[in-house]
Chain A
Amino acid sequence: NMPEINVTPLGAGQDVGRSCILVSIGGKNIMLDCGMHMGYNDDRRFPDFSYITQNGRLTDFLDCVIISHFHLDHCGALPYMSEMVGYDGPIYMTHPTKAICPILLEDFRKITVDKKGETNFFTSQMIKDCMKKVVPLNLHQTVQVDDELEIKAYYAGHVLGAAMVHIKVGSESVVYTVSVNKYAKSHISAWIDKCRPDILISESTYATTIRDSKRCRERDFLKKVHETIERGGKVLIPVFALGRAQELCILLETFWERMNLKAPIYFSTGLTEKANHYYKLFITWTNQKIRKTFVQRNMFEFKHIKAFDRSYADNPGPMVVFATPGMLHAGQSLQIFKKWAGNEKNMVIMPGYCVQGTIGHKILNGQRKLEMEGRATLDVKLQVEYMSFSAHADAKGIMQLIRMAEPRNMLLVHGEAVKMEFLKGKIEQEFSIDCYMPANGETATVTTNPSVPVDISLNLLKREMALGGPLPDPKKPRTMHGTLIMKENSLKLVSSEQALKELGLNEHQLRFTCRVQLQDPHSDPDTLHRIYTHLKSVLKGYTIQHLPDGTVMVESIVIKVSSSAEDTNAKVLLLSWSYQGGEYFFTALCIVKRLMYQ
């Protein structure tokens, strides 16, 4: 009955969004991420926790919860699970995630409860209570959840504070990672050591994409902004508050610095401002350039970027504005867009995907006349650009990660089934390891081959060392004699004497005897003496004794000669040896026999 690791996705199994994966490893149950689905407004938006237990609290069934990063599809269901379903155990996340997560949860709650008017949703207080259960993680810090379970976080790139987690129970281990961002030079980067986990669980959102270098896209983006500014136009960049906004801020900030530009850059207040504050605090979690510059100043202490005020939109002259939300469907970004849409000198740059039905989607598809509320129409004269900056790992990134960590099995989550299938095939082909892609509620089972640690007594080891020189040849295994004692869940290798002593047993001597019939005309003592001298001449370096009681001892072998009463020529050679002396016996026997048949 081999030990197993079971992985069951409650969300994100062959699906995107609502990440929630259950792992049971070495008798421990761990929940990885606790996300929500943006596409649903009913019960389906949260993972189905009843899978774990029908009634009652989750605390008894889960040893810990680990959150990889602050995106809502990875932490959105956290207050619901901990406060409404009930979980009091530890929740692990990195410091930046812990800082940013409640802001997003609160924002999400406001939209759902205050704007959409839903009831039966978690409250602000619940978010706070939930956050009290959080235990922050540092990078590369090994945290003992209990005596056996330990976890360790690594950089994952993707967004600020995103982490890969290495979970270990005994010799079994699992690594869970979000979209690792190795390839595209984001402002954050990923690395893991060769920990050879049993399973590597990875996201596969962009499983079938290999992307072009980010540098080209950045250059395009900067060139477009620069040209517009030089023309005297205004640039609007609709963004969501976190992640990409900061990335673009840094990009523009450095470009302004480099090119010595003077036009003002603004970002809208509120959420972005708060988020920028956290980026400023967690500067060490960012990339080399930003960290290097920190010696002089904090990059997020923007020099050229200032907070936006509603009245600035009417200011003359060129400017760049980052405004929320990202799809131009409401709020500040839409207001500014309306103001600037009429001038062909201006430009709007959409840095991300836009959902169908939003103004962002319409203008990206080339619509030049928009119908606004109240039957008014808006002529779109400004230039519309699309830039894709996404921080998800592409296929190559995932393959790189496998190469780095060398897992024994691979498990894909958070991606579309078809794309996963492709990646699975590739992984199996390139690395010849098994790859799983369980659907929601489906369990993937991996049997592990745990190594069994055995304590060896120091005396025994020293004795063996003394026998075979100071150091064993590193290329050859060596056998040794000893006794394995299994006692109270622990294994011990000791010398046999010690084993006897510990177990309180007596040592039993085992002797074998053997008779050899032969013809020899000499008398008994003569025969014995001949055997003795012969053995003495052949077996040099062995202790051979001729004892006065008419026996010859070769090490522990006893040789006796007796003749039968009727035929004095027919001699019977009596050989007796102990269990340990077996190896010498056959040598001695052969020699004696050869002597006699000469």
Chain B
Amino acid sequence: MAAHLKKRVYEEFSKVVQVTHEEAPAKKLRLSKPSKSAALHVDLCKASSSTDALQYLLTFSRKPVEAESVEGVVRILLEHYYKETDSSVRLKIASLLGLLSKTPGFSPDCIVDDAINTLSSESKKHLDSFTSGNLSDSSFGVRTKCLQLLGCLGLLEAPLAAMRDVQSIISDYFGDQDPRVRTAALKAMLQLHERGMKIHQIIYDQACRLLSDDYEQVRSAAVQMVWVLSQLYPESIVPIPSSNEEIRLVDDAFGKISHMVSDGSWMVRVQAAKTLGSMLQVSPHFLEQTLDKKLMSDLRRKRTAHERAKELFASGEFSSGRKWADDAPKEKLDTNTVNLIASGACGAFVHGLEDEMFEVRNAAVEALCQLARSSPSFAEKCLDFLVDMFNDEIEEVRLQSIHVLRQISTHITLREDQLDTVLAVLEDSSRDIREALHELLCFTNVSTKECIQLALLELLKNLNKYPTDRSSVWKCLKFLGSRHPTLVLPLVPELLSTHPYFDTPEPDMDDPAYIAVLVLVFNAATSCPTMPALFSDHTFRHYAYLRDSLSHLVPPLRVRTDLFLQQSLNRVSTIQNLEAAGAPELLDLTIRDLQRLGELQTELAGAADFCATFLRCQLLLMKALQEKLWNISVPLILKQNITVTAVLDESYKLEFLYSGLENRQVATIHHVRLQAKALQLILAARTRHGLDSLISSCEKFLQDVESFQRLFLTELPHLQDSFVEKLLELLPRLSSCKPVEQVKILQTTLRQSGLLQLRLPEQIHRATATIIEPTGESDNPLRFTSGLVVALDIDATLEHVQDPQNSVKVQVLYPDGQSHVIHPKPADFRKPGPNRHRLITQVYLSHTAWTEPSQIEVRLLLAYSSSCSSRLGWTDAMDSLHPAEGTVEGTIPFSKHVKVFIMPKPARR
């Protein structure tokens, strides 16, 4: 029976008690109503045997407990704990207490608070003696739970002299006979640390002893504990046993944790390897030992493959391993100096990186990265090891090490033999790996011109083998060129195959490989003025062509264009008000210029587009306000209505499609929107005859004006002479007069107001998306049975999109006007570089049967949340009033349409 009972307890143990809660009320009405605690109390008193009591507790634990009654329940449980003799019931109570203290809405300190404030000091002892009484329970489960409780509730402030310090109570159980209790003790200590208690340094020695515990979970927790202490007391001095030397505590801890990298259990190894990465205060001397490995063969020291590679490189030889026994051992070793088992930090990473479990290797790579980022000299040293990891058998590890190398690439320069190994990975069949490597090469420094040649050669090979990598390879060469202009210079004649005397045939302009070479050369030429002299005529022609067609990859060679943008804007600023003569033409021209500039100058594209869109809004408004249009009959006003919607749409684009906007620009955008809304109101006044609807629209507009004022109070001084300023002056008059008059006032204000100056922010980027796949060129329809689904692979790059997981959606438009919006999974987004995302996903299409194949359209939408716009004071009622054709509410299409042929066939019977 007892065994059965115990079993029941453990079953219950693993069950999560569903404690639903209500918001904790402001004041506590303690036990004022017949609450759970009272019922429990009655139950427990009734219980004649421990079995009964347990039964009551079990049923109790299944029921929800209101937050307000938790306190009472806790006290009753504590009381019963004393009366109870059966250990299984005590265990249950202890675990219930632990659970209750985690009840949301019930502050975990409440029990302690209780003890200190509400109840007498007796209750404080209550808790302490409760736990310490429990701690000597013979069942490990009770002890474990109690330690957990101590960790969660232990007093943070200095205890009274009479009472023992909670830390020393817990540390007593570091030597418990049960490994589970030892683990719980360590965890409780860590919990105390997390709650902000400063752990005493004496714990360090005890924790270190636990590093050699027999049980892995203890060792794992001990590693954490040692780490915590090393972060708390990095500079304390600890003695080295068996010698009279002393070292810093952080170094000592580093050595000890390094030792755990060769532990028997892989979980501990992972933990240790991860931990090493965050010990940045360690001395460089110790750090470098982690990469130390001495090889020996028959007691002679052997050079490692790394050393051999380095020597070969230094001596200028290229062949390796051709000779029999070129790895033959050299010097004779003194047997006394050979350390077989690495002590201290020796070779920790060498072991970690060669571990058989990829989890450990991954953790080691990660740790290497963190350490290398903070220490350039270490980065240099660990290079060989990281490069080796490029050939790991598990793809995750390979990918991870490539990413890591990219992160530390600022510190390092690759040697030729290392580059060779790196480049070999370009042939990997995994696209992720290849693209990560391209990204890495973008940031890599190489040392010689041979390296450049090698890299180019391998990249061209890659291009040849995987033509889909085209854009990635070109981009990579762009950076390679602009980083190493002087190394590219001597290679130019060879690369362009020019000859001093003879004209060489003109290469094919459509050859991706040739374009790749040109991208490298042109980018190098930007910072190397002597280079263009080496070009032949056709190279210049090709330059002109590429500059136009691949302007994001080919930089301008001499002209400076960034001033141009500002000049255009200045030109526009001369327009005084919206009705000035010649203004539309000037705006038209400027918009065209800006658009072209955006295409040519990738770095200015965002700003140029932004300005162009803004000016287009102004232009549209200007046209809509032209005198003669106001005389036409009512039905023709429809055209102007469309204009208004267009301006509104554009204004949303301005606000949400661009990143890097400052408050001032946002105010300007909202101003444009306000103007559009005023126009809308005027138009409504002309078309609608119902006065009621006009009144409500007027009120709404006034609200809009007010919220604008509220939001951009700080910006108002910059908006001088603008529509809104005039409007605010007239506001008292506006709100008092009749709607018809209001409209009249608005109309004149609108027409008199000047053009608002646009000031450009520092950095502005437009969110863009390019669908790479489907290409839209396929003539083969995707056939599937109607009613079933077909998966369409979508591959797109997104630039400058914040939080794409939530904002990017895929829209599918069917020929019958149906449209679906699909939200891709968060895992489908990869982040190959800063401000860049890649979406590789599948969308499922389905439709009823068609008679012949037809095209559907796929595009990406950027959703902006309505909460965001309402926060700014705009209701989305405006959007829903005029849903523009083809747009989904609250979304902006930001990629081109791609057409896909599909053919749902009727199901065969």
Contact = CB atoms under 8 A, between A and B. Distances in A.
A178 to B, nearest CB: 17
Given A183-B354, A215-B354, A396-B341, A471 B138 contact: yes
B609 to A, nearest CB: 40
Interface stretch (B32-40, B191-199, B389-397, B558-566): B389-397
Contacts of A211: 295, 297
B264 interface: yes
Given A213-B305, A387-B321, 20 more contacts: A185-B355, A191-B264, A193-B264, A208-B297, A210-B295, A212-B295, A215-B391, A216-B305, A220-B320, A222-B391, A224-B321, A258-B430, A259-B428, A395-B296, A396-B342, A399-B341, A403-B264, A469-B136, A471-B136, A474-B176
Given A210-B294, A403-B341, A475-B175, A364 B429 contact: no
Contact of B388 (A194, A219, A400): A219
Contacts of B324: 364-366, 386
Please indicate which of the listed interface residues B176, B264, B340 has the most CB atoms of chain A within 10 Å of its own CB.
B340
Contacts of B427: 259-260
B322 interface: yes
Contacts of B429: 257-260
B177 interface: yes
B571 interface: no
A386 to B, nearest CB: 6
A208 B262 contact: no
B305 A217 contact: yes
Interface of B: 136-138, 172, 175-177, 214, 262, 264, 293-299, 302, 304-306, 320-322, 324-325, 335, 338, 340-342, 350, 353-358, 388-389, 391-394, 421, 424, 427-430, 465
A365 B843 CA distance: 62
A396 B341 CA distance: 6
Contacts of A259: 427-429
B393 A254 contact: yes
A42 interface: no
Contacts of B172: 475
Contact of B340 (A194, A365, A395): A395
A interface, size bucket? 35 or more
A569 interface: no
Contact of B296 (A210, A216, A469, A475): A210
A132 interface: no
Contacts of A258: 428-430
Interface in A21-44: none
A395 B136 CA distance: 46
Interface of A: 183-185, 189, 191-194, 208-220, 222-224, 226, 254, 257-260, 287-289, 292, 364-366, 383, 385-387, 395-396, 399-400, 403-404, 419, 422-423, 425-426, 430, 469-471, 474-475
A430 B296 contact: no
Contacts, number: 123
Interface of B is mostly: loop
Contacts of B465: 260
A587 B176 CA distance: 38
B356 A287 contact: yes
Given A257-B429, A258-B428, A289-B358, A425 B264 contact: no
B241 to A, nearest CB: 14
Given A208-B299, A212-B295, A396 B320 contact: no
B819 to A, nearest CB: 37
B340 A430 contact: yes
A289 B262 CA distance: 20
A260 B425 CA distance: 12
A385 B321 contact: yes
B574 to A, nearest CB: 61
B350 A213 contact: yes
A218 B391 contact: yes
Given A400-B341, A404-B264, A214 B388 contact: no
Please indicate which of the listed interface residues B136, B177, B341 has the most CB atoms of chain A within 10 Å of its own CB.
B341
Contacts of B355: 185
Contacts of A470: 136-138
B559 to A, nearest CB: 43
A211 B294 CA distance: 8
Contacts of A404: 264
A194 B268 CA distance: 15
A210 B424 CA distance: 28
A-B pairs, top 9 by smallest CB distance, nearest first, are: A216-B305, A260-B429, A399-B341, A189-B356, A404-B264, A259-B427, A471-B136, A399-B340, A208-B299
Contacts of B138: 470-471
Nearest to B347: A396
Contacts of A254: 393
20 contacts: A184-B354, A194-B264, A208-B299, A211-B297, A213-B388, A215-B389, A215-B391, A216-B305, A217-B305, A224-B321, A258-B429, A288-B358, A364-B324, A385-B321, A395-B296, A396-B341, A400-B341, A404-B264, A470-B137, A474-B176
